[in-house]
Chain A
Amino acid sequence: MSHKPKIHSLNSLHEGLVERFVFKVTNEMMQSFVEISGDMSPVHTDVNYAKSRGFDGVVVYGGILVAQVSRMVGMHLPGHDALSRGLNIHYVRPLLVGQQAELEARVEHISEATSSIELKFKITSQGKTLAKGSAGVQILKPDGQ
């Protein structure tokens, strides 16, 4: 994983531009999220409970998927000069710990007058949609200066 955010200005972006990356959520990430959120709901922490409710393992926190959207915004689209204005996300299917997933985001709209962009994103695994949504992002240095 690169630790240097991309630097996009309004001019270097175009509607239809797509960025994507692959990720896996580990047990350590789940434990970190427990500490951040205080959420110890058993479907996310107790494998026996999760299996008794019909899942193949503990379900990854939705908040961790939001964190991946944050990574997309802050590291890729638009990267360095991003300020998130808000997002909508719909969870469709569960992601399990250790399961590989891909986040793809596309620039749907560029607003020159407000120096902001609208993204549509989708999280998939094995060809199935796990979550989808949209995000509004302001670019704090719209001319890249």
Chain B
Amino acid sequence: MERTDLIDRINAIFCEVFDDDSLVITPEMKAGDIEEWDSLSHIRLIVAHEIKFGVKFKTKELKDLKNVGNFIDLLKSKLA
């Protein structure tokens, strides 16, 4: 999958979870940049990616993430 296609699909999941069709993710984006990004929406976000991409994350992998760009890289590594 091309990186731009992957980002489009991830962006669509973010829009759905945060109920905001105008949301545009960037690699530098962090949880603090989205007002609705709390612990519950974080779980929904992770679970939605696991189900839609057919992957599983480990607790440690998520703890090491600093921003959305790290998350995209992690997901891409699981799809490789």
5 A–B pairs (Cβ distance < 8 Å), ordered by A: A109-B47, A111-B50, A113-B50, A114-B43, A136-B44
Chain B residues within CB distance 8 Å of chain A: 40, 42-44, 46-47, 50-51, 56-59, 61-62
Contact across chains for B47 and A112 when beta carbons are under 8 A apart: no
Size of A's binding interface in residues, CB under 8 A: 11
Say how far A40's CB is from chain B's closest CB, in angstroms. Answer: 32
Residues 104-145 of chain A: 1 if any B CB is under 8 Å from the residue's CB, otherwise 0?
Answer: 000001011110101000000000000000001010000000
Min Cβ gap B14→A in Å is 16
In the bound complex, CA of A67 to CA of B40 (Å): 22
User: Is the CB–CB distance between B44 and A113 below 8 Å?
Assistant: no
Q: Judge whether A113 and B46 touch: CB under 8 Å.
A: yes
A14 sits at the interface (CB 8 A): no
A85 interfacial by beta-carbon distance below 8 Å: yes
Q: How far, in Å, is A108 (CB) from chain B's closest CB? A: 8
Partner among A85, A109, A113, A138 whose Cβ is within 8 Å of the Cβ of B61: A113
Closest residue of chain B to A114, judged by CB? B43
Contacts of A111 on B, CB cut-off 8 Å? 43, 46-47, 50, 56-57
- Say whether B43 contacts A138, CB under 8 Å: yes
A residues near B50, Cβ cutoff 8 Å:
109, 111, 113
User: B59 contacts A112, CB within 8 Å?
Assistant: yes
